[in-house]
């Protein structure tokens, strides 16, 4: 019987250590820093790399880290059914043209799904909802704003009875856009729809990983959760 192949080490062709690569990717994706800001911060720690190297690292390893985080979180939450989802979309300019970033956020502020489309019609809403439901299962309640695209798409999926709408009910997802907006300004917008989708998904997973709800817990609990998140990050794709 043939032995199962050991997965190849993704860092094998790089001279820098995995710890440095993980640190650079975390700093660039998690915080509103430019590539040159990350280069300068690493240099202060005695790590001399070019900002283009940081760009290569986040493009190469960012999706691997995000997929590892998402796989662990989805498996842990798969049997959970008492979810309340909040759906919303914001416009993002790509080469001066408006595109739309759809987001699904749960009641605790976890970003479940990010999806980029050129239009904001029923067809786009249907694709977004199908993607979210396929990955995360059913939700008990789905809160939306007053756009007609949501009830039209939810009617086709047979989940219109789970929809809720209210003036202040969707603040959870509205606030969830703020970290991405801060990062967007630093990155000086996007140039391709594919790169926007890639970074939005990566940013959402990293944000979820380090989101410890510090405003809801005491200092000691927050420090424990922060240390656990950092230890998990250092073991990604190990």
142-171 pLDDT, tens digit each: 999 888 999 999 999 999 999 998 778 888
Please compute the mean of the pLDDT values over residues 11-31 and round it to a whole number.
Answer: 92
Please compute the mean of the pLDDT values over residues 186-200 and round it to a whole number.
Answer: 88
Q: Higher-confidence residue: 96 or 215? A: 96
% of the chain at pLDDT higher than 70: 93
Please compute the mean of the pLDDT values over residues 55-72 and round it to a whole number.
Answer: 91
pLDDT the model gives residue 130: 94
The answer on pLDDT for 79 being more than 70 is no
Q: Higher-confidence residue: 82 or 91? A: 91
Compute the distance between CA of residue 153 and CA of residue 166 in angstroms, rounded to an integer.
Answer: 19
- Sequence-distant (6+) residues with CB within 8 A of 71 are none
Do 67 and 204 touch, CB atoms closer than 8 A? Answer: no
- Give Rg (Cα) of the chain: 19
Q: Is 35 helix (H, G, I), strand (E, B) or coil?
A: helix
Please report the domains of the chain, with CATH numbers, ordered by start residue: 18-77+212-233 (no CATH), 84-192 (3.30.420.10)
- pLDDT, one tens digit per residue, over 115-152 is 999 999 999 999 999 999 988 888 889 999 888 999 99
Compute the distance between CA of residue 61 and CA of residue 90 in angstroms, rounded to an integer.
Answer: 27
The answer on pLDDT for 182 being more than 60 is yes
pLDDT the model gives residue 19: 93
- For β-strands 141-144 and 163-165, DSSP reports them as parallel
pTM for the whole structure: 0.86
Of the candidates 201, 53, 209, the one whose C-alpha atom is nearest the C-alpha of residue 128 is 201
Compute the distance between CA of residue 84 and CA of residue 139 in angstroms, rounded to an integer.
Answer: 6
Please compute the mean of the pLDDT values over residues 208-228 and round it to a whole number.
Answer: 87
Residue found under tokens 């043209």: 97
């Amino acid at each position: 019987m043939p032995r199962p192949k050991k997965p190849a080490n993704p860092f094998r062709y790089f001279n820098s250590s995995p710890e440095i690569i993980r640190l650079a990717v975390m700093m660039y994706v998690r915080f509103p820093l430019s590539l040159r800001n990350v280069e300068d911060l690493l240099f202060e720690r005695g790590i001399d790399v070019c900002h283009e190297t940081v760009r290569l690292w986040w493009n190469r390893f960012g999706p691997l880290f995000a997929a590892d985080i998402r796989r662990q979180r989805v498996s842990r939450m798969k049997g959970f059914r008492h979810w309340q989802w909040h759906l919303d979309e914001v416009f993002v300019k790509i080469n001066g043209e408006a595109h739309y970033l759809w987001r699904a956020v749960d009641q605790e502020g976890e970003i479940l799904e990010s999806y980029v489309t050129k239009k904001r019609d029923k067809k786009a809403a249907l694709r977004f909802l199908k993607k979210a439901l396929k990955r995360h299962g059913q939700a008990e309640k789905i809160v939306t704003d007053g756009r007609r695209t949501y009830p039209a798409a939810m009617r086709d999926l047979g989940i219109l009875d789970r929809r809720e709408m209210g003036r202040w009910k969707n603040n959870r997802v509205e606030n969830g856009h703020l970290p991405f907006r801060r990062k967007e300004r630093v990155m000086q917008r996007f140039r391709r729809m594919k790169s926007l989708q890639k970074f939005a998904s990566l940013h959402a997973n990293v944000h979820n990983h380090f989101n410890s709800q510090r405003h809801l817990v005491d200092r000691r609990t927050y420090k424990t959760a922060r240390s656990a998140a950092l230890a998990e990050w250092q073991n990604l794709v190990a």
